[in-house]
Each structure stands twice: as C-alpha cells, then as structure tokens.
Structure 1
Amino acid sequence: MKEQEIRRKEEILEPRGKLGVLIPGIGGAVSTTFIAGVELVRRGLGEPVGSLTQLGTIRLGKRYEYRTPRIKDFVPLADINDLVFAGWDIYDANLYEAAQFAKVLQKDHIEPIKDFLASITPMPAVFDRRFVRNLDGNHVKKGKNLRDLVEQLKEDIRNFQKTQGVDRCVMIWCGSTEVYMKPEDVHSSLPAFLEALEKSDERIAPSMLYALAALELNIPFVNGAPNLTVDIPALIELAKKNKVPIAGKDFKTGQTLMKTIIAPGLKARLLGLEGWYSTNILGNRDGLVLDDKDSFKTKEESKLSVLDYILQPQLYPTLYKNYYHKVTINYYPPRGDNKEGWDCIDIFGWLGYPMQIKIDFQCRDSILAAPLVLDLVLFMDLAQRANMNGIQEWLSFYFKSPMHKENLYPEHDLFIQLMKLKNTLRYLMKEEQITHFGLDYYME
C-alpha cells in the first residue's frame, strides 16, 4: 500500500448501509457470545465491556486541551445497529441452540434474544478432518475439488448479500485451530497456489479456502486462530492485488494477554528472567481440538513467540538470553469455557537475587474474545473504506502472533501496540501524532 493511496479524513468512504459479518465457525462459543452480545447491546440489555471501538477514548492534541473523544465518535466506524450476521459451521444447530450448548452465557442473557439467535442458521462448512482431528460434523460441503468448494463459499456470500441487502462485508475466522503447518512451495506465490487448488493439494487447509473466497470477492479477512491461513505469500499477494486488508493471527485473550502486560514491565525495569512456566485448563470445544498434539503445536508456536520479541535477549543477554519458557494446555471438560491459566515466573533483581511472580487468571475465554471480534470487524471495515490494503499491522493489539511485513519483526508489547493503533487513527483523521515527549511544556 502506498501512502498517497490511503484515504484520509473526508476522503474515507462513509459507512453507509448494512455491514455483513461472515464467520467460519459461527456456531462456536466465541461466535455465539459475540453475536448475542451485540444484539443485547443493541437492545439496551448489556454493555460492550472490553471493546475499544465502543468504550475507548483517544487523546488529541496537547494535554491542556483536554480533547478525548470516544473512538467511535472520532473515526467513521460502522454503527453496530448496521451489523448483519451469517456464517458456516460443521454442526447445523441454529445460534440459539449453539449458545445453549456453549454454556458461556446465562439463561437471562439468551432467552430475551431467542428469536434473533434462532433466526440465524449456519451454512454447511468446508471441513477436512485431517486438519482438525478431534471434531467431526455432518453439516459439510462436498465438491469435485478445492476450487469447487471455494466457488460454493462465494455463492453463499453472494446469496447472503442479496437476500439481506448487505452493502459491505468482513470475514473473520472464529473456527478451530488447525494442525501445524509451515509455508511450502504451493503457498509461495498466487499462481502456484491457484494451480495447487485445482489439483486439491493436501497442503491447502480449509481456512485458506475461506480466505481465498473472501479476497476474490474483495472482502477483508481476519484470522482469529493461529492457523497459517492468510499468512502466506500467495494470499498476501492476492490481498495487495485486489486492494483488500488482511489481519491476524490468533485472538489475544487470556494467558498471552497477561504476558504482553507483565513482560514489558519486567523489561522496562531491567529485571532478569530465569523461567516462565505457563499452564492452562480449558473444557470447551477449543480445548477438545487442542487436545490433539498437532493442533496444540500450532497454538504453542503462537504462544511461545511472545516473550522473545518483547524481551529482546539479543540486546539484553545477561537478563534474558537463557530463560526457560514452557507452555501447556490441558483439556478438562468440567471447566467448560471458564479457562484457568497459572503462571510461575522466576525473576531476579539487583546483584542477581531471586524473586517470583505467580498469576492465577480465572478467565472466560469467549467473554474476552467477543469484544475483540467486534473491534476487528469495525476496524477492518474502516481500513477497507480508507483503501488500506494488505497486512494491517496496526491491529497487532488484538493478536498473539501478529502478521507483519517480511523484513520486520512483530511488535508484541501491548502498550506499544495500543500506541500504534491510536496513532494510526490520528493519522487517518489528520491529527497530530502523540509522542509523549512532554519536555516542550517546560521550555521557555
């Protein structure tokens, strides 16, 4: 994307009409919690806690000016009343039934919107059990090859746009974690990828088919799982070619969120790290999927990368070069969506004296993820209307393993990520960037 092509302030297209939200995995815990939450907020029955777009503010100008509008009043975001939902799932339960099965939301949140949830039924999904071994649904598409499946997805999208009168769409992956994959030759360029598609190459995962369908229809795509999906040269090339924004990967919710809060503090104070042991128990469908070692490998890679990039051991070898980092996830059905993460952090301070930090984060996985889905949908729609195509690194704030340009390293520090996000919004609206320099207040 070239700077002169980005639309700014009055050039950004207005968010007119309905915004379609397309969700692979629409029957899952995250999706049902997100969609039910949006409807509850729209009816005045809930608050969008955790959503930067709905509750967040942004400082503009100098501190003494006291200009801090709500983000949703500062940039032209779509109104949540204009969101319309559709998606795919390997189970045919409507969203009322799916929300009951997920057991995230209480009855007094589900029953008042039963009519709305029951009206949304998943379309048959593209699914291959080789990529998600611990699930097996019967609401699945069949096709003569992978290209045929992509065309079926595109037809689903066109029908949704036509029947619902949708003006624009964003697709956001809320499906399961696929088995671990590394980029190979079939992913290296768009021609190679499209040729492999026609041959139904087994190295093309279902999530990539959804991404391809979206990008070929000029629809922004967000990857909420640690899957390879759109983070390959072929689909990055297509996103640039079709001028479509892409973002990912892996929603940053529980334990990794804590790491991106605590680790920057340790580095800021130059406190050393001996080891960081992290373990989780989780009982929802995500926990079941991650009980397979190859799906867990995908998640593990996403979770392990965070500390190295924040602590920069190459710059601080005496503090961080040889620390031990261990991550485990254990499937424990009684816990359901109420994930619990334990962290034992062995640090050292002045003269090498040892200290410890222990964290027990009893969180709700989908409750933390739902506002991220809302923000990403609204920000990606903004990016599309501002002609910001390709990788949207300014949205790294929301991901465990942020996509980034090939010759850059990803930024994982939560506070730097938030500054990047807000400075991007200031740039789009032609406001001064905030550097927190401050010394100018004291210069005569």
Structure 2
Amino acid sequence: MEAAAQVIVESPDVVYGPEAIEAQWEDWTTRVSPEGGDLKVPRLGVMLVGWGGNNGSTLTAAVLANPLRLSWPTRSGRKETNYHGSLTPAGTVSLGLDAGGQEVFVPFSALLPMVAPNDLAFDGWDISSLNVAEAMRRAKVLDWDPAASAFRLHPRVHRGQPHPGLLEQIRKDIPDFRSSAGLDKVIVLWTANTERFCEVVPGLNDTLGLEVSPSTLFAVASILEGCAFLSGSPQNTLVPGTLELACQRRVFVGRDDFESGQTKVKSVLVDFLISSGLKTVSIVSYNHLDNNDGQNLSAPLQFRSKEVSESNVVDDRVQSKPVPYTPGEEPDHCVVIKHAPYVGDSKRALDEFTSELMLGGTSTVVLHNTCEDSGLAAPIMLDLLCQRVSFCTNADPEPQTFSPVLSLLSFLFKAPLVPPGSPVINALFRQRSCIENILRACVGLPPQNHMLLEHKMERPGPGLKQVGPVAAACPVSNRKGPVPASTSGCSGDASGHPQVEEPQMPTT
C-alpha cells in the first residue's frame, strides 16, 4: 500500500516547522447552568396517507395512550406507555460540562420549543373503510386491550374514519381538517404501501405537467395547500416536476423510506467496519415478514423500489475511503425480502458482512434481528414533524429558511433526498450530529466535537474541578492487584464471572 500524500492546512493559525507543526485552536466547550424558559408552539395536525395501515394505526394508538398513562400486565411484567424509539422525546443531546466537569444531557425536546407528541391531532386517507381502532386491531401490532382503551377514552382523533383517497377530495380535505380541528399547521405523511418506481419520462413528470402515481398526487395536493409532505415509502414519489413545484411554493418535502431496524443497524455496522480500516467487500441482507408491507413487497415491481433504497445506505461510507477502495469499486450488496404470513408484524432479519483484512485475511459478521416492524417505524414519524427555522449569513443578511428539500431529516430515511449538487450522507453518526448541531446553533451553542480536551490534559485548566479520585500520573494497571468487585453483586470479575483462584507457585 502506497503512503498517502500529506495534508497541508493553509491557515494563519497553523505554522509548519522543520520539527513540529504549531497550531492555534480555540476551545468551544460549553459550561452549563440550569435556567427556566417557555415558548409557545403551534397546534399541529398530521394527515397520514394510509392511516388505517400498520404504521398509521400504531402511531395513532401510541399518541392516544400516552396522555392517559395507561399500563397493563403482561407475562414479562407490567408495561406502561412511552415513546421509546423516537428521537425528539426519548433521545438526548449533550449541552456541555457542568462546574464539576461532568457532561450535562437533556432531551432533544428541551433544546428548542417543539410540538409535544401528546398534542398532535390526526386525520388521513386510506383505501380501507375500517375506522382506525378496527384497523389497529387488524394489524395485531399492539396488545388489543390497552390500545382499545386509548381509542375509547380519548377524543384526540379528529374523525377516526379515514377519508377515501379521491383526487378531487384531497385538496379539500386538508383545509377542512385544519379549520375544524383549530390547527395552525398541517403536515402530510405518506405511510401507505410501497408503490412501484415511477418511470421519469421527459415531458411527462419532469415538468409541472401531469403527475402519474397516487403518492405524487398526494404530494402535489399537499404542496398546493402549503403543507409539508414527507414520504415514508421507497418509491420515487418526488419526481422532478414535484420538486420544482415545492421549490416554487417554498414548501418542505422529504423522502424516502423510514429507516428503523435492519437498515439502521446496517448503516452503523458498515460505518464501524470501514472506519476501522477494514475493506467490506460483501453485504447480504435477508428478511421475511407479513403485514401489508411483506405482502406488497412480494410483487417484483414494488420490491424493486425497496431494493433501491436498501442498497444505497453504504455508498457515502465507501466513497469516503479512497483507501482501500479504488475509484468505482464498491461492495457486493444483495437484498432479499420474502412474505411469510405466520410471523405477522414480527420481522426477521439476517445480515452478513464480509470484510478483507491485511495479508489476505477475511472477517465475517452475521447478525440476526427480530423486531416489531411497525413498532419501530411508528415512533420515527414523530421526528418528521420539522418546524421552520429562519437564519441569515454575513454574506446574505436577508432571512431565509432551509431548502424545501429537507436533507436535515436524512437520519430518518434509507434514501434521503438532498438538494441538487449536495452530498448524500448515510453514515448514522454524521446524520445525527447534523441534527444535533443545527439545533445547538439555533440556541447559540457551538457544534459538538466530542473532543473533551479538558479531560485529556496533563494539568486540567483552573475552571475545571476534579471530581472523584485523581489518577496517578502514569496510571498503569496492576495485573496482580485485586479484581474489582462485581457490579452485579456476584463474586467474581466485573462481568459477574466467577474467578478461579490462581495456584500458588512455590518460591525458591
């Protein structure tokens, strides 16, 4: 392997000398002290295309059940309502360090004023005539008794009966919902079945002319009504003409395909393997499930939509590594999805990752994942409810918003849409850091760099208090010393394994 060319930084803060590189750098670590504050947020409504499907009915039941604080017994103990799996109410972000040098974490929802999930209002469309409670029972994702209680006891659902998805009614349904429910904003979210890929034909859907697929019709209706549209399925809903319309109307759009379980794990593991210097050469993904998704994806044309979105999740990691990949080289990537009615919504996924090591060695990692598919996807929808942010720059003092193409939401999609000429980022850590740092910027905090330089100095600065015992100047572990007590209360090592007493060797 040839040595990489040295990087030269041209900056007045960097000086290259014959024996050393001298650099000036300003530490932006934030000191945190608690304060109070409150800002009003708008009343928000969500219209789900496919409201009676597994994802839509599961999400609705969760939002209805949480304000009631329902609990119910199961064979593994008593369960309570929560929003586990949703970034904004359940995820946390580091603010900085307190006076003792310890990191301070707060929920995402505490960083900026956000709509509380419990305050959402729902409406939507579906090809099924079942009301949402009956649709949820049919989906068999949730235990019926607590979910049914939520529908009986809570009046949150605006109608409970999905509208038929008739073209002439779509635009009328949106303002009707907004006015009758007393809403400030409405977001339209496609959570219906995967469609086949729409062929982009010159003169047909590359302009503002005729749109052809049902999801594109809903997207155009949403844009014309000034409502953000987000696609949770992998088909190419946002064809060029639709994007052009969104940019003209300055309405937010985002896509494609919720990234919840198997694909999110794939993004993390490939990032780890390639970042470790390994050359991942083969990725094979297999899964089977039932529900509407599994049945629909058994059709070849619909499966092709899913295959495209699943296969693109590692591209940016490969392209970022000119070593060891040569230009144009990429791993073999195979995706298989099968319909298995018996397993229901309990998706079974198997992934195999093969990587090359030095001197011709190979490493293979195999993962098996069993999960409730809709239970993973439903909380993600809560994070798609993006509020508008305005900002200006020194070069352009006129306030502006983000691009109508919401690439900020890449963390939540398998095949994120980005503005023309922008890089597509699939690495999960970079995607989440983007959201975190933009939210930090909105409240005047510097980007999070994870350096924690103050904890890596030989002599900590005067503003940092030492907490706990101070380590020796050269903390070399004593292998013959006592083993730390087990955190589990068991005798043995720190992992709870029993320790075999070492034989006493005779001395001479």
TM-score category, normalised to shorter length: 0.7 to 0.9
Q: State the Cα distance separating 1:39 from its structure 2 match.
A: 1.2
Correspondence for 1:301:
308
Q: Equivalent residue of 1:356, what SS?
A: strand
Q: Equivalent residue of 1:381, what SS?
A: coil
Correspondence for 2:75:
none
Check if 1:367 corresponds to 2:375: yes
Q: How does 1:89-128 map to 2 (within 5 A)?
A: 89-115=126-152, 116=154, 120-125=160-165
Question: What amino acid does structure 2 have at the position aligned with 1:162?
Answer: S
Correspondence for 1:336:
344
Q: Check conservation: 1:55, 1:70, Cα contact below 8 A.
A: yes
Q: State the Cα distance separating 1:73 from its structure 2 match.
A: 1.5
Greater alpha carbon shift after TM alignment, 81-90 vs 104-113: 104-113
Correspondence for 1:4:
none
Greater alpha carbon shift after TM alignment, 51-60 vs 285-294: 51-60
Correspondence for 2:416:
402
When the two structures are superposed, what TM-score results if normalisation uses the length of structure 2?
A: 0.73
Q: Check conservation: 1:239, 1:389, Cα contact below 8 A.
A: no
Q: State the Cα distance separating 1:108 from its structure 2 match.
A: 2.8
Q: How does 1:22-421 map to 2 (within 5 A)?
A: 22-45=47-70, 46-62=81-97, 64=101, 66-115=103-152, 116=154, 120-125=160-165, 141=166, 149=167, 151-186=168-203, 192-193=207-208, 195-197=209-211, 204-230=212-238, 232-312=239-319, 315-318=322-325, 321=329, 323-377=331-385, 380-383=386-389, 387-421=401-435
Unaligned runs of 5+ in 2: 1-37, 71-80, 392-399, 462-508
Report how many aligned residue pairs link the two structures: 397
Greater alpha carbon shift after TM alignment, 308-317 vs 66-75: 308-317
Q: Equivalent residue of 1:60, what SS?
A: strand
Distance 1:383 1:55 in 2: 22
Q: State the Cα distance separating 1:88 from its structure 2 match.
A: 0.3
Q: Deviations over 1:415-438 (max 9, x none)?
A: 111101101111222211112344
Distance 2:58 2:390 in 1: 26
Structure with higher helix content: 1
Check 1:371–1:187 CA distance in 2 against 1; reply closer, same or farther (3 A cut).
Answer: farther
Check 1:31–1:244 CA distance in 2 against 1; reply closer, same or farther (3 A cut).
Answer: same
Distance 1:19 1:289 in 2: 31
Q: Check conservation: 2:66, 2:118, Cα contact below 8 A.
A: no
Q: Equivalent residue of 1:326, what SS?
A: strand
Distance 1:314 1:57 in 2: 30
Q: Check conservation: 1:243, 1:387, Cα contact below 8 A.
A: no
Q: Check conservation: 1:263, 1:311, Cα contact below 8 A.
A: no
Q: Equivalent residue of 1:68, what SS?
A: strand
Unaligned runs of 5+ in 1: 1-11, 126-140, 142-148, 198-203
Question: What amino acid does structure 2 have at the position aligned with 1:292?
Answer: A
Q: Check conservation: 1:244, 1:384, Cα contact below 8 A.
A: no
Question: What amino acid does structure 1 have at the position aligned with 2:45?
Answer: G
Q: Check conservation: 2:198, 2:213, Cα contact below 8 A.
A: no
Question: What amino acid does structure 2 have at the position aligned with 1:54?
Answer: P
Which gives a bigger RCO, structure 1 or 2 (Cα 8 Å, sep 6+)?
1
Question: What amino acid does structure 2 have at the position aligned with 1:88?
Answer: W
Q: Check conservation: 1:226, 1:401, Cα contact below 8 A.
A: yes
Distance 1:25 1:43 in 2: 25
Check if 1:15 corresponds to 2:14: no
Q: Check conservation: 1:314, 1:321, Cα contact below 8 A.
A: no
Question: What amino acid does structure 2 have at the position aligned with 1:15?
Answer: V
Distance 1:409 1:309 in 2: 8
RMSD: 2.5
Q: State the Cα distance separating 1:95 from its structure 2 match.
A: 0.7
Q: Deviations over 1:340-381 (max 9, x none)?
A: 11112222323221221111101111011011001112xx23
Check 1:102–1:186 CA distance in 2 against 1; reply closer, same or farther (3 A cut).
Answer: farther
Greater alpha carbon shift after TM alignment, 319-328 vs 252-261: 319-328
Distance 1:212 1:314 in 2: 39
Correspondence for 2:449:
435
Check 1:86–1:309 CA distance in 2 against 1; reply closer, same or farther (3 A cut).
Answer: same
Distance 2:151 2:454 in 1: 57
Question: What amino acid does structure 2 have at the position aligned with 1:306?
Answer: V
Q: Deviations over 1:34-70 (max 9, x none)?
A: 1111111121120110111112222124573744222
Q: Equivalent residue of 1:244, what SS?
A: coil
Q: State the Cα distance separating 1:227 from its structure 2 match.
A: 1.4
Q: Check conservation: 2:279, 2:324, Cα contact below 8 A.
A: no
Distance 1:36 1:168 in 2: 21
When the two structures are superposed, what TM-score results if normalisation uses the length of structure 1?
A: 0.83
Question: What amino acid does structure 1 have at the position aligned with 2:431?
Answer: Q
Correspondence for 2:493:
none
Correspondence for 1:128:
none
Q: Deviations over 1:124-171 (max 9, x none)?
A: 01xxxxxxxxxxxxxxx3xxxxxxx2x421101111112211221111
Q: Check conservation: 2:348, 2:369, Cα contact below 8 A.
A: yes
Q: Check conservation: 1:313, 1:321, Cα contact below 8 A.
A: no
Q: Check conservation: 2:68, 2:150, Cα contact below 8 A.
A: no
Q: State the Cα distance separating 1:409 from its structure 2 match.
A: 2.8
Distance 1:156 1:91 in 2: 17
Percent identical pairs in the alignment equals 30
Larger Rg: 2
